[in-house]
Every structure is written in structure tokens, then in C-alpha cells.
């Protein structure tokens, strides 16, 4: 099965339930980028989902192109950020001209890339589309997150329009999390049940930095935010890590 089919089916719920991430994450991205992100920069939003971050970036005066592998995610993205440009592309195989000042990839989107070889392909594609001195900022959830937050995770939410449960099965030997979302929606006098299964994995910190180097990036740095939302250097106990890499 095409792995993006599940993302198509998940798009409407993602658009409703996780709308705030883009607005919440922008101050952190700006803090990490510092003066390396010029006003009006041309930004690529990689794995843009339903366009929540793209919307914020447009409002801040940046030029934005979003790419995603899901048609349905992009349909919502075009509604949420109509001033942005959106392209249907696989992060592992896209090619764009070297005209972007920055590439962002957030909300642990790259944890859905399941091998380090494929992740390195993503890094290479990003490197090629960046202008000289362009920056790449992305986040990944790390081993600690998988072994604490994801292990045994269960969530249930009921609204007037739908009801869903989210549960995560984590296999520490394979380093794979299986996300199972079961959704119930009213249909006539009955409730329609559907189920979506997605997968994530994690990569060691040094392996990520090494792969960035192989793609051509220099001076990769890794950060996390403490409970006071202050930026600090990432450690092995960090649950979500933000990486900053630069094209020389």
C-alpha cells in the first residue's frame, strides 16, 4: 500500500486537532535561526502537513513553499495558507532549485522516515535546494521520548462530530512506534468506524549529525527547550531535539 494513503485519511483529523503547533513552534524556530533568517526570507516548509506553520510564516512576511506527500494534507494547506505555494513531493526524492534561505521541518515529521539511508536522502535534497549560507532547522523526537511518552501512550477524545482513540505500541528492539488511531463518525443513525496506522522511528544524535555532514552541511548543532522555554544544548536525555545545519 502507498504509505501516503494513510496520511490522506488522517488529514482532516490532523487539521482539526493539531492546528496550534505552527504558531507555538515559530518563536523557537526564530530563536534558533537568529540573524541567519533575513526578513522576507524564501522558506521551504518540508512535510508541511495542513499548512499551519506555512500560515504563520506568511503572516510574518516570509515567502513560503510547502511540500508534502499527501494530497489531502495539501488540500487543507491551500485553504489554511492560500498565499503560499504548495507542491506534492516525496521528501526523499524531491528536487528544487537552490533558492531557499531556510528549510524548516517540524512536528517530528522526519521521524516518519524509517531508515537512516532515507533520512540522508532527505538531507541531500534539502542541501541542494538551499542558497549559499542557507539554513536547515528540523526537529526529531529522540530515544527518551519513545521510551517515556510513547511507551504505553493512550488518548481518548470525544467531540459532537467525532470520537477517536490514539494508542502507541513501541518496540524498543526495532526502535519502531506504531501509532493506531481509531475514529468513529456519525453516518445516518449509525457510527462509522475507521482505523489509521502510522509509524515512527528514532535515530541517535551523532548518527543524525554524521548524516548531515555526508549531505554537505557544516557545523550541525542540536538544541532542546527546557520547561521555561529557554534554548539549551541537547543531551541524551532530551525528548525533542531541534537541529540547525548550514550550507557553506
pLDDT in tens, 123-166: 999 999 999 999 999 999 999 999 999 988 999 999 999 999 99
Fold of 4-142+203-246: Rossmann fold (3.40.50)
Q: Where in the chain is the domain with CATH 3.40.50.150?
A: 4-142+203-246
The alpha carbon of 223 is separated from its chain's Cα centroid by a whole number of angstroms, namely 16
Beta-bridge partners for 199:
178
pTM confidence score? 0.95
Fold of 145-201: N-terminal domain of TfIIb (2.20.25)
- Distance (Å) of CA 69 to CA 100, 162, 216: 20, 26, 24
pLDDT tens, residue by residue, 19-73: 888 889 999 999 999 999 999 999 999 999 999 999 999 999 999 999 999 999 9
SS3 for 78-122 is HHHCCCCEEEECCCCCCCCCCCEEEEEECCCHHHHCCCHHHHHHH
Q: What's the mean pLDDT in 176-190?
A: 92
Residue 123, Cβ density class (10 Å: 0-12 exposed, 13-18 middle, ≥19 buried): buried
pLDDT of residue 159: 93
Using alpha carbons, select from 118, 116, 140, 131 the residue that is nearest to residue 244.
140
Q: Where in the chain is the domain with CATH 2.20.25.110?
A: 145-201
The band of 3, judged by pLDDT with boundaries at 50, 70 and 90, is low
pLDDT of residue 2: 42
Residue 188 has pLDDT above 90, yes or no: no
Amino acid at each position: 500500500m502507498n504509505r501516503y494513503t494513510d496520511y490522506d485519511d488522517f488529514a482532516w483529523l490532523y487539521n482539526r486537532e493539531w492546528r496550534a503547533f505552527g504558531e507555538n513552534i515559530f518563536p523557537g524556530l526564530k530563536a534558533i535561526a537568529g540573524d541567519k533568517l533575513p526578513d522576507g526570507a524564501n522558506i521551504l516548509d518540508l512535510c508541511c502537513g495542513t499548512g499551519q506553520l506555512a500560515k504563520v510564516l506568511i503572516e510574518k512576511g516570509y515567502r513560503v513553499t510547502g511540500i508534502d506527500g499527501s494530497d489531502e494534507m495539501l488540500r487543507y494547506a491551500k485553504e489554511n495558507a492560500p498565499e503560499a505555494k504548495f507542491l506534492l513531493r516525496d521528501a526523499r526524492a524531491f528536487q528544487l532549485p537552490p533558492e531557499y534561505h531556510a528549510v524548516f521541518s517540524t512536528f517530528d515529521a522526519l521521524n516518519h522516515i524509517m531508515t537512516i539511508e532515507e533520512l540522508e536522502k532527505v538531507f541531500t535534497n534539502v542541501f541542494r535546494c538551499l542558497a549559499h549560507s542557507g539554513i536547515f532547522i528540523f526537529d526529531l523526537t529522540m530515544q527518551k521520548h519513545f521510551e517515556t511518552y510513547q511507551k504505553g501512550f493512550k488518548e481518548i477524545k470525544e467531540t459532537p462530530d467525532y470520537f477517536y482513540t490514539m494508542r502507541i505500541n513501541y518496540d524498543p528492539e526495532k526502535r519502531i512506534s506504531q501509532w493506531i488511531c481509531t475514529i468513529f463518525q456519525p453516518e445516518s443513525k449509525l457510527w462509522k468506524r475507521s482505523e489509521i496506522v502510522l509509524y515512527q522511528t528514532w535515530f541517535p544524535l551523532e548518527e543524525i549529525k554524521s548524516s548531515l555532514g555526508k549531505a554537505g552541511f557544516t557545523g550541525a548543532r542540536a538544541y532542546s527547550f527546557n520547561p521555561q522555554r529557554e534554548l539549551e544544548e541537547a543531551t541524551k536525555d532530551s525528548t525533542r531535539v531541534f537541529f540547525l545545519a548550514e550550507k557553506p
